[in-house]
A = this chain, B = another copy of it.
Amino acid sequence: MNDYYSKNPRFYVGIDCIIFGFDKKKLSLLILQRNFEPAKGEWSLMGGFVQEGESADEAAKRVLQELTGLKSVYMEQVGAFGEVHRDPGERVISLAYYALIDINAYDHELVHQHNAHWVDVNELPHLIFDHNQMVEKARNAMKQKASCAPIGFNLLPELFTLTQLQNLYEAIYGESIDKRNFRKRIADMGFIEKTDKIDKTGSKKGAYLYKFNDKAYRKDPRFKL
């Protein structure tokens, strides 16, 4: 009867995390220089395996938390990678997820234990298996999504200057944006709120700090950058 299932093989289902951070003008990824087998010494994404009793999304959150200590992070599934020999050790079908985190807020101790490092997304080393492919696909998916939904804010602190926001989008798109046009679009959207606080770390004059107003966004969710 349950031949329907049991005549089929079962597989390890892996999780791999493309963890984006943003600092100054650069998008970076948090990657591991593996101090464990397999592929010890090489660079890889943070990974893990789906366990019984947890969904794929939950597994991805858990794996991310194991490295960063962070809960409730913005994550999106990139897709399944299922080539037969993608992992030379065993047949593993892996689900890639990208995560957007504030590069100033994570557990440094945990990251240190895993021998993980931030690396400029444009200067990535060779990664094991098909991890470079996963990164490529994640970058495209993220870029696409960031252009039409307000997910970029997950890479910034709660308060940010418009220059920081512009630098972020320039990094995501890989091209520079006209300052006045950028600020016009921000103003048009109407849910990026000026606060009365001023940041003086970036310039002598100081720049107003803004914040993303989620409630205002949901009232009129038009986003285009």
Residues of A within 8 A of B (CB): 1-2, 4-5, 8-13, 36-38, 49-57, 59, 77, 79-84, 89-93, 95
Contact = CB atoms under 8 A, between A and B. Distances in A.
Contacts of A55: 82-84
A12 B57 CA distance: 17
- Copies of the polypeptide in the assembly: 2
A95 B59 CA distance: 16
A56 B80 contact: yes
A13 B77 CA distance: 17
A83 to B, nearest CB: 5
A8 B51 contact: yes
Given A56-B82, A82-B95, A12 B10 contact: yes
B77 A37 contact: no
A12 B4 CA distance: 11
Contact of A5 (B56, B82, B89): B89
Contacts of A4: 36-38, 89
Contacts of A53: 84
Contact of A51 (B9, B52, B54, B92): B9
Contacts of A13: 10-11, 13, 82, 93
14 contacts: A1-B37, A8-B49, A8-B51, A9-B51, A10-B10, A10-B12, A11-B50, A13-B13, A13-B82, A52-B91, A55-B82, A56-B80, A56-B81, A82-B95
